[in-house]
Amino acid sequence: MSNESPAVVSSSALTALSATRLLQVITFTLVGLLVAMWVATGTTQTILFFGCTGLTMASWVAYRGHATAAAFLFLWTITLMLSALAYLSAGIRDLAVLGYPGLLVLAAIVGSGRLLFSLLFFIVGYCSLLAYWAITGVLVPVIPPVEAKHVVFTNVILLVTGFSVFLLFGDVRRLMGSLEAENARVRKTQAAIARLANHDQLTDLPNRRYCEELFVRAQNRSQQQHQRLAVLFLDLDNFKPVNDSLGHSAGDLLLQQLVLRLQSLLRPHDVLCRFGGDEFLLLVATDAHSDDAIMQLSEQLIKKTTKPFFISQMQVEISASIGIAFAPEHGTEFTALCRHADMAMYKAKQDGRNTYRFFHPDLDRINIDKFNMLQSMRQALKDRRFELYYQPKLDIEDGRVIGAEALIRWPQRDGSFIYPDQFIPLAESSGFISELGAWVIQEACAACARWQELGLTEVTVAVNVSYVQFRDGLLEQHVRQALQDSKLAATALELELTESLLIGEGDTIQQQLHSIHQLGCTLAIDDFGTGYSNLGYLRRFNATRLKIDKSFISSLCVSSRDQPLVHAIIQLANSLGLVSVAEGIEDEATLLQLRAMGCNEGQGYYWAKPMPEADFIAYLQKGAAINRADVIPIR
């Protein structure tokens, strides 16, 4: 019943209604007939008696709910009764004929078309016949003098007809009213559905789909007024970390507050849309010759965004990068303009975020590849298309696998890979590395926890961390979360940082490293030897390992120049209490030399290339089965 359409419900309601209504109409008519029978005499009384009997049967049928049959019985009884009365008395001029129109109206309301037309044809035919009989003298009409009973007959007919029509039309009116209400409800639901489809539920702003429609209107309007239409693409710079650390409901609250702030800057015809996540699009008609107003607006938008938010009694600060394109000079199509504004926004991010940039065709040429790559990188992270590969790290003395370095891979649809050197720099310069890095830490911790569950309890995992990941101050939070989610001991996670990180930036990074170290994680200095190689700061940063850059290792057996250097690094590491790690060991000769120099750990193609997790587990299990006393470690 619940999924029945409103039309079906109304028609069944109508049937039920007309059965009860019919019963009332029949009863009322019956009362009228009884009154008429009381004043009537002779044959008239007999005919009225038959009429009453027919109506009693009809009322019984109506009572049982059979509206159509009751209507048939009722109307035909009355018709035949009136016809008999007319035949026996004044024929075509008889009072009974007065009842016919009323009957037809009732038939039209309660009965089917078939009933109405059969009655109509009968009545027309019968009246013609009565007239014909009178004209030809077959029937001589008896027109009695008017008596009091005729007043009763007339009034019974009028009252019964009037009352019945009133009752039945009342129903029709009510039904129309309820249908109208139903229609209004359907219209309202449709409007609500349209609104849902066109608006973002969280902020109630128009969504991307609807934005396109609004864009066309805005563009037409600005054309008519000889103005340009500015398309501003606004992207929050560090919203994701807020979501991650404070929870989605806090993020939602922030977005709602932000929208109110942004709306306070808009004029009546400006359109603000939510494009998704933390992206907004603003359509503003502006002067055809000057950018001043848009520059001012962008500054105000950024100012409104950077003002601290108070969410769940916490002060949260974010910023925004804005890209601006104009119609018609940068395009007239919605998609093209959005893309250009997005590119300009990307330029704003590259230029240090929290600023705005105008689209320029040069931007298109220079940045198109990077822009595309960044877009697909974002999508790949959303679609979970990145993978972590693991390269075993071994103890050079006894060949034990002590852990793995997690190295990110970006598999392509054609089966090839994009290697980190090709996309990490872009991820860093765009700030995307923050999100990507958080995923790497999360994934690596989960993997290491799985290895430990398989009984490979000694194995640790090392993750590469970029200096950009320290910028928003959320690295510690990401590490904490990953450890908590995977239930991995903090001591099993190592972060690899490059030297440059330790040199350039000041106290904030040191503080963050300190708290991460406090959690129990270890730190490794990556690519040592390629930077400033100042051992002084290694101590300050609580590093545990020193990874000698593979450029020195791979040439160890070739270049005599590198041997003393590598030896010196190993000795320095030892004297500072740091574990020395050689990366890029590709052959046995190099391994033997490093072992002779006292290097502690190694990593390289000699043992294994980075591999998917399943292969790494198989590698670990094979390693665990081999005799550890074997001096040359497993391959």
DSSP string, 372-407: HHHHHHHHHHHTT--EEEEEEEEETTT--EEEEEEE
In the complex, what is the shortest distance from the CB of residue 448 to Ca ion, in angstroms, rounded to a whole number?
Answer: 16
Reduced to 3 states (helix: H, G, I; strand: E, B; else coil), residue 225 is coil
**Contact residue for Ca ion among 200, 435, 443, 496 (CB under 5 A):** 496
CB-based contact 207:273 (threshold 8 Å): yes
CB-based contacts of 135-139 (< 8 A; 24+ apart in sequence): 139/87, 139/91
Shortest gap between Cβ of 622 and ligand C2E (angstroms)?
19
Interface segment toward ligand C2E; rule CB under 6 A; list 86-94, 222-230, 414-422, 446-454: 414-422
Chain-centroid distance of CA 251 in Å reads: 16
Using CB under 5 A as the binding rule, whether residue 494 contacts Ca ion is answered as: no
Residue 418, amino acid: I
Which of ligand C2E, Ca ion, none has residue 466 at its interface (CB below 5 to 8 Å by kind)?
ligand C2E
Q: Kindly tell me which residue out of 464, 522, 580, 593 binds ligand C2E, with binding defined by CB under 6 A.
A: 464
Instruction: Write down the least CB distance from residue 397 to ligand C2E, Å.
Output: 19
Q: Which is nearer to Ca ion, 302 or 525 (CB)?
A: 525
- Partner from ligand C2E, Ca ion, none binding residue 421, C-beta < 5-8 Å depending on class: ligand C2E
Whole-number Å distance between alpha carbons of 473 and 60:
86
Cβ proximity to Ca ion: between 339 and 393 the closer is 393
Choose the contact partner of 633 out of ligand C2E, Ca ion, none; CB within 5 to 8 A by kind: none
User: Between residues 96 and 401, which has the closer beta carbon with respect to ligand C2E?
Assistant: 401
Check whether the bond before 328 is cis (ω within 30° of 0).
Answer: yes
Determine, following the binding rule CB under 6 A, whether residue 408 of this chain makes contact with ligand C2E. yes
CB of 199 to ligand C2E, least distance (A): 38
Q: Minimum distance from CB of 441 to ligand C2E (Å)?
A: 9
Among 505, 586, 587, 615, contact with ligand C2E (rule: CB under 6 A): 586
Can you tell me which of 49, 63, 541, 605 binds ligand C2E, judged by CB under 6 A? 605
CA distance 405 to 500: 20
Closer of 529 and 584 to ligand C2E (Cβ): 584
Distance in angstroms (rounded) separating the CA atoms of residues 56 and 51 = 9
| Omega before residue 633 within 30° of 0, cis | no
Q: Is there binding between residue 424 and ligand C2E (CB under 6 A)?
A: yes
Rounded CA gap, 524 and 544, in Å? 6
438-457 residues near ligand C2E, rule: CB under 6 A: 440
Stretch that binds ligand C2E, among 11-19, 347-355, 374-382, 419-427 (CB under 6 A): 419-427
Q: Which stretch, 64-72, 87-95, 446-454, 599-607, contacts ligand C2E (CB under 6 A)? A: 599-607
Query: Which range, of 185-193, 204-212, 461-469, 611-619, touches ligand C2E by CB under 6 A?
Result: 461-469
Using DSSP's 3-state secondary structure scheme, residue 64 falls into coil
Please name the residues in contact with 489: beta carbons below 8 A apart, sequence gap of 6 or more. 483, 520
**Residues 466-485 interacting with ligand C2E (rule: CB under 6 A):** 466
Task: Count other Cβ atoms within 10 Å, centred on residue 183.
Answer: 11
Report how far apart, in Å, the C-alpha atoms of 156 and of each of 148, 159, 167 are. Answer: 13, 5, 16
Find the length of the chain. Answer: 635
CB 499 within 8 A of CB 521: no
Give the residues across from 388 on adjacent strands: 408
Question: 363: number of CA atoms within 13 Å, CB side?
Answer: 21
Region 459-488 residues binding Ca ion, contact defined as CB under 5 A: 464
Which of 237, 527, 601, 613 is the binder for ligand C2E (CB under 6 A)? Answer: 527
User: Is there binding between residue 419 and ligand C2E (CB under 6 A)?
Assistant: yes
Distances, alpha carbon 491 to alpha carbons 437, 485, 517, 576, 603, in Å:
19, 15, 9, 20, 20
How many C-beta atoms lie closer than 10 Å to residue 393's C-beta? 26
Task: Choose between 116 and 509: whose C-beta lies nearer to ligand C2E.
Answer: 509
Q: How far is the CB of 532 from Ca ion (least distance, A)?
A: 16
Binder among 237, 270, 526, 562 for Ca ion (CB under 5 A): 526
Using the minimum distance from each CB to Ca ion, give the nearer residue, 411 or 531.
531
Shortest reach from residue 570's CB to ligand C2E, in Å:
18
3-state helix/strand/coil string of 482-512: HHHHHCCCHHHEEEEEEHHHHHHCCHHHHHH
Partners of 547 in beta bridges: 581
Residue 323: contacted member of ligand C2E, Ca ion, none (CB under 5 to 8 Å, by partner type): none
N-terminal to C-terminal alpha carbon distance within the chain: 71
**How many residues make contact with Ca ion (CB under 5 A)?**
4
Name which of 342 and 496 has its Cβ closer to Ca ion: 496
List residues near ligand C2E by CB under 6 A: 391, 407-408, 419-421, 424, 437, 440, 464-466, 496, 526-527, 550, 583-586, 603-605, 610
- What is the contact surface with Ca ion in residues (CB under 5 A)? 464, 496, 526-527
